[in-house]
Structure 1
Amino acid sequence: MRALTWQSTGHVSVETVPDPTIEDPKDVVIRVTSTAICGSDLHLYGVLGPFLDRGDILGHEAMGVVEAVGSDVRTLAAGDRVVVPFVIACGECAMCRSGLTTQCETTQNHEHGTGADLYGYTELYGSVPGGQAEYLRVRRADANAYKVGHDLPDDRYLFLSDILPTAWQGVQYANVPDGGTLGVLGLGPVGQFAARIGRHLGHRVIAIDPVPERRLMAERYGIETLDLGDDTLDALRERTSGRGPDSIVDAVGLEAHGNRTIEVVQKAVGILPDAAAKPIMQHAGVDRLAALTFAIDAVRRGGTLSLSGVYAGAADPLPMMTMFDKQLSLRMGQCNVHAWRDELLPLVEDPADPLGTEDLTTHRVPLDRAPEMYEIFQKKEQGCIKVVLKPGA
């Protein structure tokens, strides 16, 4: 089959690789009909290379049609259309039963001290082949493949794999009070959905992003927007009675603009030999914290910060005095995708499409164009907000 593979920092390519097969009786293999490039894939492209091997298959947002079924699978059959959450959970352990599927005790990576296995996301999370490919082996399929109907287009369902529940969890964790204001930092795919969800739930939403096309897309959903500049903090406070938003979702994460020195260090570490780079990143790695420090400054006293953007630094300096003095609440973490499915599925299947699942993708291209689209997406060129790859095209 053809699959998008990591080759080196800043270099991915589509290669011919062996087809996946049933390796465990709980597996299914799907023919991928749609798979997306996620903002967190760009971390692999530019920063986390020391934890990848040449030829690793990337991608963790995928859906398709079941082609082969393991003997212990009870809920799926060949021909079923399914969405695959990026988290691989057992559905049975104490963490899964409590809704914390990203902390699954069955697939947890004890060697690295990290959570559950993830598709296409480094040795830290199991080195599991990802979904930017023509076929995908879905592990523990009864717990990890959502059966959906055949009538609606893929875009209605595809984003249930990651970015839609990630945004939903981000807004839930933000704990916006009734009549309150939600700030959203970053209007990439997760930020777009977080802002739309905030409005859907009845909140006032003010979102910040430096890219005009992203602001225009958000404004279609009744979201107030601000450009990112030297006066953004003052403008945000002016719109919120001088206090700042009640809650802020940081949908940017570790690759925020704003600290050129740390950006250079990240890139330098990313190209070191693995043996040298891994200890640095695991024990002394520092993120670009421009978005987080802005959020800490901007949120009102007694407010809540919700981190949906990925952070990976082991030695990030935080302004603890400010956070303590402002009495802030902070919630974060990988999305527990499985926990939000029942709330989101009716919205996804609503004929009115209230969250605009069909109004997010800006680039829909064949799988072979994936390397080009990684670069365009990273550079925010051509109005690129969300890329969906079509392996069968």
Structure 2
Amino acid sequence: MKAVCWWGMEDVRVAEVPEPTIEHTTDAIVRVTSTAICGSDLHLYGVLAPYLRQGDVLGHEFMGIVEEVGSGVGTLEPGDRVVVPFNISCGRCWMCARGLFAQCETTQNTEQGKGASLFGYTSLYGSVPGGQAEYVRVPHADFGPVEVRHGLPDERYVFLSDILPTAWQAVDHAGVNGNDTLAVLGLGPVGQLAVRSAVHRGVGRVIGVDLVGDRLDLARSSGAEVVDLSGVDDVADALRELTDGRGPDAVIDAVGMEAHGNPISEQAIKAAARMPKAIARAAIEHGGIDRLAALHTAVDAVRRGGTLSVSGVYGGSADPMPMMDLFDKGLTIRMGQCHVRRWTDELLDIVDADDDVLGLESFATHHGALEDAPDLYRTFRDKHDGCLKVVLQP
């Protein structure tokens, strides 16, 4: 079968790989009908190269049709249409019983000191072949996959695999209501859906921050006020000016480790990623840093006693943090991988509604076949041609 494979730094290729088979009784084989390129995939494109091997199948946002199920899967049958959460969880362990599906103890990568296994996401998270392929083996299919109805376009459902529940969780973690102001830093796919989720949930005031004109316009059309990063000297000051000098009640960092604003850190990260794998891993695990402009801006901007909700991915082990400000301002911080299955029932009720209130069917700006993946990875990375979200159809 064809699959999108990692081949090297900033090098993905479509290659022939063996079709997956049932390996455990709780497996299912899914024929992929749509798969997306995520902002987190761009970390694999560069920063996390030391944890990948040539030929690894990428992708963790996908949906499709069940082709085969193991004998232990009583919840699905061939022909069912499903969307698959990006984290692999059993639904039964101590963590899953508490809704902490991203920390599932059954699939946890204890040797790496990491949480639940993820589709298509490096040796740190299980080296499980991903969903940018014609077929995928789905472990723990007796719990993970979410059955969806036939008849509506894939774009209505495919984002339930990651970016929609990630955005929804970010807003939930922010703890805001109709009397509050929420700022969203970064108006990429997760940031845009965080804006829409916050507006849908009735948050009093939503302010989006970015430097890309198309993304600012899109957030504005979704009901947010916007701050153009390129037009202000200090984002935190601009947000305080909009909030009586106090700052937003909560700030979502939807940017993560590859923020603009620190070219020295950027070059250091790129240099580390290009080292021999063993040396690069040691450098990342013991001295790794991120570009922290967005996170430090969030700390500066949020009001005293407010909340930081971090949905952007960070991977540094030696990041400098403004601990005095965090302590002095009395901030609450919530972060981490999305517990996808915790939110899917709630979100499915919204997604299934006739009015497509979150605008999911028109959310993807670029579509293509698997063969187009190398070009579309570059387009997405460079934000060319107004690219916000890419969906591939195998």
**Which category of TM-score, normalised to the shorter sequence, fits these structures?**
over 0.9
Shift of residue 322, structure 1, vs aligned partner: 0.8
| Residue matched to 2:362 | 359
Q: Per-residue CA shift, 1:81-100, capped at 9, x if unaligned?
A: 00000010010001001000
| Residue matched to 2:312 | 309
Is 1:346 equivalent to 2:349 in the alignment? yes
| Residue matched to 2:227 | 226
| Residue matched to 1:111 | 111
In 2, the alpha carbon distance for the partners of 1:142 and 1:215 equals 41
Q: Per-residue CA shift, 1:306-362, capped at 9, x if unaligned?
A: 000000100111000011111111000000001011110111011111111113100
Alignment of 1:17-96 (within 5 A): 17-96=17-96
Number of paired residues?
391
Aligned with residue 294 of structure 1, among 294, 297, 318: 297
In 2, the alpha carbon distance for the partners of 1:116 and 1:340 equals 17
Shift of residue 178, structure 1, vs aligned partner: 3.7
Shift of residue 46, structure 1, vs aligned partner: 1.1
Shift of residue 166, structure 1, vs aligned partner: 0.3
8 Å Cα contact 2:165/2:347 also seen in 1: yes
8 Å Cα contact 2:102/2:115 also seen in 1: yes
Which secondary structure state, in structure 1, belongs to the residue aligned with residue 36 of structure 2? strand
In 2, the alpha carbon distance for the partners of 1:90 and 1:7 equals 31
In 1, the alpha carbon distance for the partners of 2:89 and 2:69 equals 18
Q: Provide the alpha-carbon RMSD of the alignment.
A: 0.8
Q: What fraction of aligned residue pairs are identical, expressed as a percent?
A: 60
Letter in 2 for 1:68: E
Q: Per-residue CA shift, 1:243-293, capped at 9, x if unaligned?
A: 111001100000001110111011111111111101111111000000000
In 2, the alpha carbon distance for the partners of 1:320 and 1:178 equals 30
| Residue matched to 2:134 | 134
8 Å Cα contact 1:57/1:129 also seen in 2: yes
Letter in 1 for 2:207: I
8 Å Cα contact 1:177/1:246 also seen in 2: no
Which secondary structure state, in structure 2, belongs to the residue aligned with residue 68 of structure 1? strand
In 1, the alpha carbon distance for the partners of 2:217 and 2:104 equals 39
Aligned with residue 253 of structure 2, among 250, 253, 261: 250
| Residue matched to 2:328 | 325
Which secondary structure state, in structure 2, belongs to the residue aligned with residue 64 of structure 1? strand
In 2, the alpha carbon distance for the partners of 1:187 and 1:390 equals 25
Is 1:381 equivalent to 2:390 in the alignment? no
8 Å Cα contact 2:7/2:53 also seen in 1: yes
8 Å Cα contact 1:187/1:251 also seen in 2: yes
8 Å Cα contact 1:58/1:130 also seen in 2: yes
In 2, the alpha carbon distance for the partners of 1:26 and 1:35 equals 22
Which secondary structure state, in structure 2, belongs to the residue aligned with residue 302 of structure 1? coil
In 2, the alpha carbon distance for the partners of 1:99 and 1:59 equals 24
Is 1:150 equivalent to 2:150 in the alignment? yes
- Moved beyond 3 Å, runs of 4+: none
Letter in 1 for 2:292: L
Q: TM-score under structure 2 normalisation?
A: 0.98
In 1, the alpha carbon distance for the partners of 2:236 and 2:24 equals 53
Q: Mark the runs of 5 or more structure 2 residues left unpaired by the alignment.
A: none
In 1, the alpha carbon distance for the partners of 2:293 and 2:234 equals 15
Is 1:334 equivalent to 2:374 in the alignment? no
Q: Per-residue CA shift, 1:196-239, capped at 9, x if unaligned?
A: 11111111100001101111111111111111132433322111
8 Å Cα contact 1:4/1:14 also seen in 2: yes
In 1, the alpha carbon distance for the partners of 2:74 and 2:176 equals 40
In 1, the alpha carbon distance for the partners of 2:168 and 2:226 equals 20
In 1, the alpha carbon distance for the partners of 2:329 and 2:339 equals 29
Q: TM-score under structure 1 normalisation?
A: 0.98
Alignment of 1:268-279 (within 5 A): 268-279=271-282
In 1, the alpha carbon distance for the partners of 2:301 and 2:215 equals 21
Which secondary structure state, in structure 1, belongs to the residue aligned with residue 197 of structure 2? helix
Shift of residue 177, structure 1, vs aligned partner: 4.2
